[in-house]
């Protein structure tokens, strides 16, 4: 398959996540376990013979959901509620989630109320990462999730099966990271939209199938030689739950930005960390959970060993980015809280950044374009001026 046709297949899955999952359920006969974003160990559901699917913000306008949630919630939360109210989740065998952003908890209560016949399982991951009991509690919590899964399937999950699933998922993350590395180095020309498709489809598709397509894709990229791109190298940061609208990503690149790296959930954040396949699987998952926040810090966690702002400055240097565009989902409290830390650190270091608030209903696209165009113009001039001064 050509690069285009592989990406085409993955794009369909990424953009039609529930249809794709439902088709797979028909074809494979496997149970589908939907999860909210952030820290669902898909490996465990896979080892239980299920297919894990991360629930996505839908492109549909929010309608009946308005009757169950206030408008001052992030687009992802409102969309989840809306999809539950519309019956879109009826085909799921279970919904499981372990992160406790206060807005998502509101959605969880509505989802459980709207899906009385679906197992809605909550395992509360400790969000304070550097306490003496953080690791132990994380293990207990994953055990709670395991018991929930076992109750559903009616038998226990074998450690060897867990390790096999872990290896499968690690392989997936490794290949996606490799593609990121190739893009950063200029060896693979992948737009921000394409990168999102690659990661997002991994959240939905059967992992073995996704691995097969990634292997083909890597082989294709190895055959081709990428030409150098011109423009402002942009780092994207933000969006911990929902995928940024591809239209926004396209717009950034149309305005002359080249997206070279990101810390998006539908990006590096999702694929940053592998699970150790040589130790007790629950120990390994607990370790993975804590390590993940050090690899790509998340403002939804409190962690005395991680500083998101410093991580971003370092990551920009590593990817030789000229400027950072912060994509903040409107009403995202963790992001709003942390943003002043980033702003301060970036201004102190003289690294340019632009804050964009994004919404489910994107109705100010032109105003966004104006900001992005101006920002890229400013970065270009400042970077050139720095050169001349040097």
Partner 1 sequence: MNDLILPQGKKANRLKTSSMNNKMVNDYWTDVFNAKAEGKLVCWYEGVAINPLMQAADIRWVHGEAWSALLAARNNEQPAQTAAEHRGYMKELCSYARTHIGCGVLAQNRGVEASGSSFSDALGAGLLGERIPAPDMFISAYPYCSTGQQWDEMLFRLFGKKIPIFNISVPWVWGNKPDAMYLGGSEFNEAKQYMVKQIRACTDWIAQQTGKKYNWDKLSEIMSYTKTAGRLRVEAMELCKAKPAPASFFDWTTSLAPVNFIPGGPAIVDYFEKTKAEIVQRIADNEGGIPQEKYRLFWDGIMNWNKIGWLANKFAAYDANMVAGRYTHMGFWHEFESIDVENPLEGMAVNYLVCPINLSAPLMIEQIIKLCKHYEIEGVVLHAARTCRAFSNPQFLIADAVQKRLGLPVAMIEGDMVDESFYKDEIVNSRVEAMLESIEARKRVGIAA
Partner 2 sequence: MKSYVMGIDFGSTTTKTVILDLKGKMVASCVASKGSISAEGVQVSMDGAFAQAGIAQKDIARTVSTGYGRRMIDVADQSYTEITCHARGAIAMFPEARLVIDIGGQDSKVIAVSGDGLVQQFAMNDRCAAGTGKFLEALARAVQVPVEAMGALAMSSTEKLTVSNMCATFAETEVISLLAEGKSKPDVLGAVHAAIASRTAGLVARVGNRNPIVMTGGVAKNHAAVHYIEQALSAKMLIAPDPQIAGALGAALFALDEVAKPSAAMMDEEDGADEAMSSARGCATQPCKTAAKLPANERPLLGPM
- Using CB under 8 A, list all residues that contact partner 2: 230-233, 317, 320, 322, 347, 357, 363-364, 366-367, 370-371, 373-374, 377-378, 380-384, 386-388, 390
- Measure the CA angle with vertex 25, ends 24 and 29; round to 5°: 120
Nearer to partner 1, 103 or 202 (CB): 103
Taking CB atoms within 8 Å and a gap of at least 24, the contacts of 363-366 are 365/247, 365/251
State the CB neighbour count (10 A cutoff) for residue 78.
26
Encoded tokens for 22: 């439902």
Residue 70 beta carbon to partner 1: minimum distance, rounded to whole angstroms:
6
Residue 317 beta carbon to partner 2: minimum distance, rounded to whole angstroms:
6
Binding at 90: pick from partner 1, partner 2, none (beta carbon under 5-8 Å per type): none
347 contact partners, CB below 8 Å, separation of at least 6: none
Binding at 97: pick from partner 1, partner 2, none (beta carbon under 5-8 Å per type): none
Phi-psi category of 188—alpha, beta or left, where left has phi over 0 and alpha has psi -120 to 50?
beta
Residue 373 beta carbon to partner 2: minimum distance, rounded to whole angstroms:
5
306 contact partners, CB below 8 Å, separation of at least 6: 129, 293, 294, 297
Nearer to partner 1, 193 or 335 (CB): 335
Rg of the chain taking only CA atoms, in angstroms: 21
Residue 310 beta carbon to partner 2: minimum distance, rounded to whole angstroms:
15
Q: Which residues would be at the binding site for partner 1 (CB under 8 A)?
A: 67-70, 72-73, 100-103, 105-106, 108-110, 112-113, 121-122, 124, 126-128, 131-133, 137, 144, 148, 299-300, 302, 304, 330-331, 333-334, 336-341, 343-344
- Measure the CA angle with vertex 358, ends 339 and 262; round to 5°: 60
Residue 322 beta carbon to partner 2: minimum distance, rounded to whole angstroms:
6
Encoded tokens for 137: 């509690």
Binding at 367: pick from partner 1, partner 2, none (beta carbon under 5-8 Å per type): partner 2
Nearer to partner 1, 119 or 380 (CB): 119
């Amino acid at each position: 398959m050509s690069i285009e046709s592989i990406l085409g297949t993955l794009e369909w899955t990424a953009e039609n996540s529930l249809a794709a999952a439902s088709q797979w359920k028909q074809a494979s006969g496997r149970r589908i376990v939907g999860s909210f974003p952030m820290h669902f160990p898909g490996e465990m559901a896979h080892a239980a013979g299920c297919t894990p699917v991360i629930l996505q913000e839908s492109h549909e306008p929010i309608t009946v959901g308005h009757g169950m949630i206030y408008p001052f919630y992030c687009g992802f939360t409102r969309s989840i509620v809306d999809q539950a109210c519309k019956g879109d989740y009826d085909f799921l065998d279970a919904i499981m989630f372990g992160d406790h952003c206060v807005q998502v908890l509101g959605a969880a209560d509505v989802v459980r109320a709207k899906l009385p016949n679906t197992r809605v399982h909550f395992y509360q991951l400790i969000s304070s990462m550097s306490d003496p009991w953080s690791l132990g509690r994380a293990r207990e919590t994953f055990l709670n999730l395991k018991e929930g899964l076992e109750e559903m399937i009616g038998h226990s999950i074998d450690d060897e099966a867990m390790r096999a699933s872990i290896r499968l998922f690690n392989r997936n993350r490794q290949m996606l990271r490799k593609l990121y590395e190739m893009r950063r180095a200029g060896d693979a020309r992948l737009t921000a939209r394409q990168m999102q498709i690659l990661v997002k489809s991994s959240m939905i598709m059967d992992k073995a199938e996704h691995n097969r397509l990634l292997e083909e894709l890597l082989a294709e990229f190895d055959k081709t030689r990428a030409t150098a791109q011109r423009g402002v190298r942009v780092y994207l940061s933000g969006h911990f739950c929902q995928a940024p609208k591809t239209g926004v990503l396209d717009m950034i690149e149309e305005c002359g930005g080249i997206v070279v790296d990101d810390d998006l959930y539908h990006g590096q954040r999702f694929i940053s960390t592998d699970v150790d396949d040589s130790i007790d699987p629950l120990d390994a998952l607990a370790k993975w959970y804590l390590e993940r926040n050090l690899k790509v810090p998340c403002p939804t966690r409190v962690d005395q060993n991680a500083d998101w702002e410093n991580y971003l400055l370092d990551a920009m240097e590593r990817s030789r980015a000229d400027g950072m565009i912060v994509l903040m989902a409107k009403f995202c409290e963790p992001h709003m809280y942390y943003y002043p830390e980033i702003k301060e650190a970036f201004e102190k270091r003289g690294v340019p950044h632009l804050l964009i608030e994004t919404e489910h209903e994107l109705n100010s696209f032109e105003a966004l374009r104006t900001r992005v165009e101006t920002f890229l113009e400013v970065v270009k001039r400042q970077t050139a001026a720095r050169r001349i001064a040097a």
